[in-house]
Amino acid sequence: MSQESFIYSFVARGTMILAEYTEFTGNFPAIATQCLQKLPSSNNKFTYSCDHHTFNFLVEDGYAYCVVAKDSVGKQISIAFLERMKADFRKRYGGGKADTAIAKSLNKEFGPIMKEHMKYIIDHAEEIEKLLKVKAQVSEVKSIMLENIDKAIDRGENLTVLVDKTETLRSQAQDYRSKGTQMRRKMWYQNMKIKLVVFGILLLLVLVIWVSICHGFDCTN
C-alpha cells in the first residue's frame, strides 16, 4: 500500500466534525460531510463508493469516525484504521471530554494522531490482512460447530455420548494437571537433595582444609 491510500479522515460528534486530517486537496471533504449528514444514528459500519474512492464510516455512541480511501484499499483495512482511531480517540477524550468540544477544535491535537494511525495501518497492511483472515476462519469454524450441534439436537441424536466424551476430556485434563503438579514437586525435591549433597561436600572440604592447616581442630596456637 502507498502512503496515498488514505487521503482524508475525521471524527465527528453527531454531524459536527471535531477533528480532521488530510494532506490532499479535492472535494472529498465535502462529499464525506454530505454522507455524514445522511448517516443513520445507530451503531454500525457504512461504506459508500464515489469517483474511485470509498467513504468508510464507523458510528458508535453518537460519534462518527470516517476515512476516505482509494478503492484499491480493502474495506477491512479501512475498518481496521477506524477501529484503531476510535480506540485512541476514546482513550484520550472519553469520559465526557469530547462532549463539549466545538467544531474542529481538536484538529491541532488529534490531527497528527490520525496521520500516525494512517501510516501504521499502511505500513502493516499485509500483517493486518493475515490476522483478519485468521479471525474470519476462526469465526467460520465456530459457526459451523454451533450449527452442527443445533442439527444434532434437531435430529434428536444421543447427546449423552457427547456429554460423556466431554466429561472424559475434562477428567483427562485434570489428570494432566495433577501429574504436572506431582512432577514439579518431584523435581523440586530432587533439586533440594542435590543442593544438600553439594552443601555437604563443600562443608566436608572446608573441614578437611581446616584440619590440614591447623593439624587438628585447635587453631589457636
What confidence tier does 200 reach under pLDDT thresholds 50, 70, 90? Answer: confident
Region of 121 on the Ramachandran plot (φ > 0 left; ψ -120 to 50 alpha; else beta): alpha
CA distance 4 to 106: 23
- What count of other Cβ atoms lies within 10 Å of the Cβ of residue 189? 10
CA distances (Å), origin 170, targets 175, 181, 182, 215:
9, 17, 18, 67
The 10s digit of each residue's pLDDT in 116-167 is 999 999 999 888 888 877 777 776 766 676 666 666 666 665 555 556 655 6
| pTM of the predicted protein model | 0.64
Residue 4 confidence (pLDDT) above 90: no
Strand 16-21 to strand 6-13: parallel, antiparallel, or no bridges (unpaired)? antiparallel
Asked if residue 200 is part of any domain, the answer here is no
3-state DSSP call for residue 12?
A: strand
What confidence tier does 23 reach under pLDDT thresholds 50, 70, 90? Answer: very high
Query: Looking at residue 64, which CATH number applies to its domain?
Result: 3.30.450.50
Q: Which domain holds residue 133?
A: 125-157
What is the full DSSP assignment across 40-90? Answer: -SSSEEEEEEETTEEEEEEEETTEEEEEEEETTS-HHHHHHHHHHHHHHHH
Cβ contact 24:31 at 8 Å = no
Please report the pLDDT score of residue 159 as a whole number: 55
Q: What is the mean pLDDT of the chain?
A: 84
The 10s digit of each residue's pLDDT in 76-126 is 999 999 999 999 999 999 988 899 999 999 999 999 999 999 999 999 988
Q: Are residues 132 and 45 in the same domain?
A: no
Count how many domains the chain has. 2
Q: Are residues 140 and 83 in the same domain?
A: no
